[in-house]
Amino acid sequence: MNQGSDEIETPKSFPTWRTVRRGVYKTLDAYLADMKAKGYGISEYAAEILPLVVWSREEGEEELVMVLDQNLGIADSYTPDKLFAAAARFGLYRLDADVAAGLREQYDDQPVGEWCLAAMDQIGSCFRSLRVFEIARFDARALLDAHNAFPEVRFGFGIVWIFSRRKPTSAT
């Protein structure tokens, strides 16, 4: 690392972590039925933003990349915009919200104690919070949660993020 630099040495690329199906759920009700059938939980925070998810009609596969924030070359606390800009240098994009929610249902083998955040556009909740989905497994129970992600929030180091190799359909 160069003295005075705000970036750290980074890998040249990141391997695909897993491939998930997109467009599996056409409605919130279909998604909730599958989550219930698997015994997966949904926190009150995730429940607030799930009704605002636009469920894709496009079916296909999506390559996801799991990245520790520090490996993106960010050397200090960061905002969501700084995270997304750093990831874009590696060809990593935000997840569509339906893919982020669907990851919870498709990530059956998540280790107990692991949690990660979906790199996605923030969704406004009824409490005027902007949130992103958190995919977690605590005490052997899989959970879809949501984490505050205001534009001015500063994340500390050590957060694992899930990105896509595909540009989001919600990109403007």
Angle, nearest 10°, between helix axes 97-106 and 28-38?
20
Residue 68 tokens read as 């520790």
Which is it for strands 60-68 and 160-164: parallel, antiparallel or unpaired? antiparallel
Amino acid at 147: H
Q: What is the pTM of this model?
A: 0.87
Instruction: Provide the residue-wise pLDDT of the chain in tens; the chain has 172 residues.
Output: 333 444 444 556 899 999 999 999 999 999 999 999 999 999 999 999 999 999 988 899 999 999 999 999 888 899 999 999 999 999 999 999 999 999 999 999 999 999 999 999 999 866 667 899 999 998 878 999 999 888 888 898 889 999 999 876 654 3
Q: Which residue has the tokens 């997966």?
A: 40
For residues 67, 88, 49 and 137, what is the CA-based torsion angle, rounded to 10 degrees?
A: -10
Q: How far apart are CA 60 and CA 167, in angstroms?
A: 14
Residue 102 tokens read as 């669907």
